[in-house]
Amino acid sequence: MKIFLDTANLDELRAAAALGIVDGVTTNPSLIAKEGRSNVEQIRAICEIVDGDISAEVVSTEAEEMIREGHELAAIHPNVVVKCPLIPEGIKATKALSSQGIRVNVTLCFSAAQALLAAKAGAYIVSPFMGRLDDIASEGTELIREIVTIYENYDFPTQVLAASIRGPMHVKDVALAGSHIATMPAKIFHQLFKHPLTDIGLEQFLADYRKTLAEVAVG
Ligand code: E4P
């Protein structure tokens, strides 16, 4: 499963990307707004930090304008994937952009039926928002499992990107459900490393190593 970071913050991206296992980045208008720069400027800067798919979202609600925006975003860098919302106009724009060779991430997906529409429009990625479903007491992981099954049933090449992830358990759950990608805030990415037994084990190994060194030195 690919790991994407769900942030537009350059410091967070630099720190996480330095570990060498970040495959891409997702942004949305809310994440970009936190950084105080234009979408185009921020996406360009992100592309210089992470070498992988970088999702940048359109803000229009009409297909023609989404297509125009999509071309503008795709021109920023070859790694840009254009995000379109899962509304009829967004699906129309996805079909057009995909036919023109521009990769589209269809976002704001909350049902397997919606995901089917995204795949039929030629989406490169579909983004089911599992955390926001869990927030309203619905099963986010089950949605990922259903979409993966439908795509496998019909050999759709669209990748499932589990979005709106709220914690390390979500990451494990979507990996088990067969998600192709999981996008997460930097904080959750760093939490994935944590296990108390790793820390205790390492402390013990290093203490024993130091003890052996001291014994050898004494002779
Ligand atoms: C990513 O593509 C989504 O925009 C993001 O994961 C949404 O997350 P949120 O529900 O925490 O805002």
Is residue 57 within 8 A of residue 107, CB to CB? The reply is: yes
Beta bridge partners of 107: 85
Q: For residue 218, what pLDDT band results from cuts at 50, 70 and 90? A: confident
Half-sphere exposure of 95 (CA within 13 A, CB side): 11
Which one, of 113, 117, 47, lies nearest residue 84 by Cα? 117
Q: Would you say residue 120 has pLDDT above 80?
A: yes
16-34 pLDDT, tens digit per residue, is: 999 999 999 999 999 999 9
Can you give the pLDDT at residue 216?
Answer: 86
Q: Are strands 24-26 and 53-57 parallel, antiparallel or unpaired?
A: parallel
Q: Would you say residue 217 has pLDDT above 90?
A: no
For residue 132, the ligand 1 atom closest to its alpha carbon is 10
Mean pLDDT of 108-130: 98
Catalytic residue among 2, 34, 83, 95: 83
181: left (phi > 0), else alpha (psi -120 to 50), else beta?
A: beta
Q: Would you say residue 159 has pLDDT above 90?
A: yes
In the block, tokens 């359109």 appear at 58
Mutation test residue for ligand 1: of 106, 134, 164, the one with most atoms within 8 Å of CB: 164
Q: Would you say residue 156 has pLDDT above 80?
A: yes
Mean pLDDT of 84-102: 98
Residue of higher predicted confidence among 56 and 218: 56
Can you give the pLDDT at residue 76?
Answer: 98
Can you give the pLDDT at residue 184?
Answer: 98
Q: How far apart are CA 47 and CA 120, in angstroms?
A: 28
Nearest CA to ligand 1 atom 11: 164
Q: Is 111 exposed, middle or buried (0-12, 13-18, 19+ CB in 10 A)?
A: middle
Instruction: Find all residues with CB under 8 Å of 170, minimum gap 6, and list them.
Output: 130, 131, 134, 140, 141, 162, 182, 184, 188
Chain-wide mean pLDDT for the chain? Answer: 97
160-186 pLDDT, tens digit per residue, is: 999 999 999 999 999 999 999 999 999
Query: Hey, how many other C-beta atoms are within 10 angstroms of the C-beta on 212?
Result: 10
Judge whether 83 counts as a catalytic residue.
Answer: yes
Q: Is 187 exposed, middle or buried (0-12, 13-18, 19+ CB in 10 A)?
A: exposed
Mean pLDDT of 62-87: 98
Is residue 39 within 8 A of residue 32, CB to CB? The reply is: yes
- The percent of residues above 70 in pLDDT, for the chain, comes to 100
| pTM summary value | 0.95
DSSP code, position 5? E
Q: Would you say residue 219 has pLDDT above 80?
A: no
